[in-house]
Structure 1
Amino acid sequence: MISFHAADRQLTLKNRTLLKEVVTRIFKHEKQRLQQLSYIFCSDEYLLQINRDFLQHDYYTDIITFGLSGKGAPIEGEVYISTDRVKDNAINEGTTYTAEMLRVIFHGALHLCGYKDKTKAEQQLMRSKEEEYIKAFQDLNRKS
């Protein structure tokens, strides 16, 4: 159902089983049916090329989410994450790599659940949801 893959970078994050559990919870809590979700970890350059090829954007980004299922069907998706951007964002935001990686992983799942982040209000709601699931992950991690 949920898988992690390396394009040209590895995910350096412990507790992958717990991480999958929280991502699964996101879909259940948001009342969405999840069929298949693949996270692909890559470099800035790898994700820049995807951004150019598929979205016609010529800039670096930390995440690109592709929904692959038809309307009304269980969700299938691919989430590409630049570990380079996540590391830089963590430094710029004054947070840890782990916290920033969790935020981005949950961000991709939330996009597939229908959340957007174009307007200020959408961004605030998205950030609130990210924080909710980061806290859930941290709480479960402490208990295990």
Structure 2
Amino acid sequence: MSASPVKFHFLQTVNLRNRQALKAFIPSIFKREKVPLTSLTYIFCSDDYLLDINRQYLNHDYYTDIITFDLSEGEGGTVGEIYISIDRVRDNARQFNTSLSEELHRVIFHGALHLCGYKDKTAQEEKLMRTKEAEYLAKWNKKKV
């Protein structure tokens, strides 16, 4: 069995179960979307950490749950870094009346979908993004039963 191209780094603690299965599942998103994947690193962090990144690299002065960087060069497979604020995900889970686990997985898949070319700036793009998130959440939830 080859090593997964997906890595997780925790700057903030979160209970992320089934990590190995998740590392195997995420590349299947890229495969289904016909986007080659070379490496993908998820960094789980705090609101303040992600706010600093948002200010420094995107000139945005607000909290967000996720920032996705496509670091790919040339014609090779996708190389990406995805930063996720555990604080924001926790707040969003409460706000949307869902579990932390469900919201965390939604955001994890959201970042992967951005790297597959999906956007969420317009209402139409956001609707498609939400549909894709729901599709992969359903597949993940079915897989882990």
Taking structure 1 as the reference length, the TM-score comes to: 0.95
Partner-residue secondary structure (3-state), 2:137: helix
Looking at structure 2, the residues matched to 30 and 41 of structure 1 have their Cα atoms a distance apart, in angstroms, of: 24
Instruction: Give the structure 1 partner of residue 69 of structure 2.
Output: 66
Say how many residue pairs are matched. 141
Looking at structure 2, the residues matched to 112 and 91 of structure 1 have their Cα atoms a distance apart, in angstroms, of: 27
Match of 2:9 among 5, 9, 27: 5
Looking at structure 2, the residues matched to 11 and 39 of structure 1 have their Cα atoms a distance apart, in angstroms, of: 13
Match of 1:86 among 84, 89, 95: 89
- Gap runs ≥5 in structure 2: none
Pair 1:98 & 2:97 matched:
no
Percent of aligned pairs with the same residue? Answer: 55
Partner-residue secondary structure (3-state), 1:127: helix
Match of 1:50 among 50, 53, 59: 53
Looking at structure 2, the residues matched to 3 and 134 of structure 1 have their Cα atoms a distance apart, in angstroms, of: 19
Looking at structure 2, the residues matched to 120 and 70 of structure 1 have their Cα atoms a distance apart, in angstroms, of: 30
Once the two structures are TM-superposed, the CA of residue 71 in structure 1 deviates from its matched residue by 4.3
Looking at structure 1, the residues matched to 109 and 14 of structure 2 have their Cα atoms a distance apart, in angstroms, of: 15
Contact 1:22 1:133 in 2 (8 A): no
Letter in 2 for 1:97: L
Give the structure, 1 or 2, with the largest relative contact order (CA under 8 Å, sep 6 or more). Answer: 1
Letter in 2 for 1:6: F
* Stretches of 4+ aligned residues off by more than 6 angstroms: none
Looking at structure 2, the residues matched to 128 and 22 of structure 1 have their Cα atoms a distance apart, in angstroms, of: 18
Taking structure 2 as the reference length, the TM-score comes to: 0.95
- Gap runs ≥5 in structure 1: none
Match of 2:128 among 125, 129, 133: 125
Taking only aligned residues, the RMSD between alpha carbons, in angstroms, comes to 0.8
Pair 1:25 & 2:24 matched:
no
